[in-house]
Structure 1
Amino acid sequence: MRRALLTLCLVSAGCDQMSHQPRYDSYERSTLFADGTSMQAPPGGTIGRDDPALAAELAQRPDITPQLLERGQQRFGIYCSPCHDYSGSGHGTVPARGFPQPPSFHIDRLRQAPSRYFVEVITTGHGVMYSYADRVTPRDRWAIAAYIRALQLSQDAPAALLTPDERARLEAQP
């Protein structure tokens, strides 16, 4: 018993390598990099999350153009459809596998919400949805919001917007 206890003490004393790892403090000299410092400048083109240019871009709603809607459809397909599905009903593949189901974009509350609401949710997250601010540029957030509006209109367009030919084709469908 005494031998097992001694062995256990010796083994556990030799396992404390995590608290004694070699590391560098900020601004400490280092031989790791050619300039002799341990702290390196960010790569060229890096933008901070709190960059004023990003905030300004997010504050400006772009004009809605076919190109913006097309970009929104593409970004929606990449980032939103796994949970919200391609129609925006909230029946994507992720909730089908047990994750909480997001609300449909076609409910009254979200139909009445301003477009900025969707941009803010993409930026900061909501409920179990995490922020996409590090993945989706401000302009693309606006493009997604515009595409969500197009989805909402596609599911609840007033018949008055249809031409007589379109209305006849719609009524002829079974």
Structure 2
Amino acid sequence: MIVVLGLSLWGVGCRQDMHDQPKYIPLRESTFFSDARSARPVIAGTVARGQLREDTLLYTGKVNGADATTLPFAVDEKVMARGRERYDIYCAPCHGRTGAGDGMIVRRGYRRPATLHQDRLRESPVGHFFDVITNGFGAMPDYATQIKAEDRWAIIAYVRALQLSEHATVADVPADRRSDLDRPPQGAR
């Protein structure tokens, strides 16, 4: 009895209902539609899931077609920490931890990237950096698919902090944060 029940359950599990169902195979001929195509055209105005990007500044780095001069959100310690983390992953191998263009790739014989501290880049609007991270520039590849838009902006905020720190003095550090200068950096041994 148990054997028959077991074989019955096993046999039911072998049915090919999903495989043998009536369906249209993409790009095959269809007798149902008047144009004889089984692949249907996209309906006008359709937006793919996750692709509704109404905030032009956030997703393009542009305002009225020109590079943005401001970030799309306020910068706080959390944004800076995220920017540093993403910078260390995606940017530091080429640009170095301080943005001087002395990353690991230079030591491996590759072409030296631009230092982020040159006047041309210090004076560039933040939208320029967003465009370069998104679309690449020169030998730099694009990171549009690897780095989401919010993280690109966090990286840009961190790059601006690196640029400001290049010629900073202790007097530039708020008095209540100066004691932090004596502590070893997080992750240091």
Give TM class, smaller chain: 0.5 to 0.7
CA RMSD across the alignment = 3.1
Q: Using the alignment, how far apart are the partners of 1:94 and 1:155 within structure 2?
A: 22
Residue among 131, 134, 140 paired with 1:123: 134
Shift of 1:28: 2.8
What residue in structure 1 maps to residue 27 of structure 2? 27
**1:135 corresponds to 2:146:** yes
The alignment status of 1:101 with 2:112, answered yes or no, reads: yes
What TM-score results when the alignment is normalised by the length of structure 2?
0.58
Q: Decide which structure has greater helix share.
A: 1
Kindly indicate whether residue 74 of structure 2 is the aligned counterpart of residue 63 of structure 1.
Answer: yes
Query: Are 1:53 and 2:53 counterparts?
Result: yes
Q: How many residues align?
A: 129
| SS at structure 1 position matched to 2:144 | coil
For 2:129 and 2:54, the matched residues in 1 are separated by 17
Structure 1: runs of 5 or more not aligned: 1-24, 30-36, 39-44, 170-174
Which aligned pairs between 1:74-89 and structure 2 lie closer than 5 A?
Answer: 74-89=85-100
Gaps of 5+ in 2: 1-24, 30-37, 40-47, 62-70, 182-189
What displacement does 1:156 show? 1.4
Deviations 1:80-111 (A, max 9, x none): 01101111111111122122111111111111
Q: With structure 1 as the length reference, what TM-score do the two structures score?
A: 0.63
Match of 1:18 in 2: none
Q: CA deviation at 1:76?
A: 0.1
